[in-house]
Each structure stands twice: as C-alpha cells, then as structure tokens.
Amino acid sequence: MDRPRWLPLESNPDVMTKFLHCLGLVPTWQCGDVYGLDPELLSIVPKPVCAVLLLFPMTEKYEAFKVEEEERIKAAGQSVSPDVYFMKQTIGNACGTIGLIHAVANNQAQLEFAPDSALKKFLGQTSKMTPEERATFLEKDESIRVTHESSAQEGQTEAPSIDEKVNLHFIAFVNVGGHLYELDGRKPFPIAHGKTTEDTVLEDAVQVCKTFMARDPEEVRFTIIALSKDSY
C-alpha cells in the first residue's frame, strides 16, 4: 500500500508561522530565520527560543552517517526522557509539519493555544500513543492535512508537484528536562545531544547543526529556523 504524500512545506518562516497560527497557536510565538552561526548573528534572534528547526539535504554522506549512528546508539544505548514527545514520519513530504509538531509538542508549558486549536486537540489525543501510532493518527487528521496543503502553496517559490522527489528534510531540536534532543521522524528514536538550558538551546542546537554542515562541506542547502517569542 502506497504511503500518503503531501506537498512539501517551504522553509519560509512566514509560511511556517501562519501554519502554526492557523492551527490555533496564539500569535505570541513566531518562526524566524537564523542568519548566521557566529555569536553576533545568533544574538539578534528574538529570545526566548523554545525550538530550532534545521532543513538539510539528504545526501549519500548523510544517509551513511544515519545508518552508522543508529547502529552505534543501539549498541551503546542512550538516555531519553519519557517526557519527550516523538513521532515517526509515514507521510511523504510531511517533515516540515512533523518538525513543527515536535517543536510545539515539547514546549506546551510555554506556548498558548486558542480554545478550538486543532493542534492542541491533536497533541491531547496522541499524548499517550507510541511514535508509530502518532504517525498513523496524523495520516487521518484532516484539520492538519488541509492546513498543511494550503500553507504549502503559499511560499515564495512555486510548489512542486506532489510526486516530485524532494531530498531536503526538516528536523527539530528541543530542550526537554535540561537535555537537547534531535527529533527526526525518519529515525527510530530521538537523538540525545547532551545538556542544554532554556537560555542556551539556540546556541547548543546550532553546534549540532554545524556537524551536519561539516559532513557535507560542498553543500549550501542548509536553513536554520528558530521558534521564538515575538519581541515586538
């Protein structure tokens, strides 16, 4: 049976912010570009930051690393908080939406939602599910699918066809219980990246993003987006 496919969400902070607001996130939080990795440019990102999203190319080097990483963690083990909300990706091209769900789901204590929020309802209904069950539930969630489809057509570039192979992928970095986690629906589990704090989650996530870039130094197709509180 063919898995469902959605139009890919553009790595455009305005599109992603509108997507979250349409799903009922109160507009005190917004997505914004991270323009550079040096301390001066990171300092201009509005604070606080509650999650960081990375868009990167899925190259042969990355895919080889992904297999090696999974084998290493399965052999050595890792500590992951039971409070981490993680879901698998079974919908083609839905990584942008899943990245945003990961960002919001792991920061519900800080964020505010409208009473009729479709996203808040989804998180409540899936809170006790396994990562695989959450993926299946998303396949049937019409509110999120319809919002994703309309958002995917709103970017500055023309939306690709639904069958076009897209080799760019979104993942999220979040702070749960003072630890930084990489959440990627294509991986079997969250990846723990050591300690972090509410004040340093942007800088700590960027250090991990740098390792993605270092694996593919010829590549330029990297975008970093922060979910942060509107400072205006």
- As averages over each run of 10 residues, the pLDDT of the chain (232 residues) reads 80 93 94 95 95 96 96 96 98 94 97 95 97 97 91 64 68 98 97 97 98 94 94 58
Measure the CA–CA gap between 22 and 157, rounded to whole angstroms.
21
Structure tokens at 175: 């702070």
- Strand pairing class (49-57; 191-195): unpaired
Eight-class DSSP state of 91:
S
pLDDT of residue 160: 47
Q: Return the active site residues.
A: 95, 169
CA distance 159 to 5: 14
The arrangement of strands across the sheet holding 49-57 comes to 29-33, 223-229, 49-57, 168-176, 179-183, 191-195
Task: For 98-121, give one letter per residue: b (16+ CB within 10 A) or e.
Answer: bbbbbbbbbbeeebebeeebbbbb
**The pLDDT value given to residue 73:** 97
Q: Name the CATH superfamily, with its identifier, for domain 13-229.
A: Peptidase C12, ubiquitin carboxyl-terminal hydrolase (3.40.532.10)
Provide the pLDDT for residue 2: 67
Global pTM reads 0.93
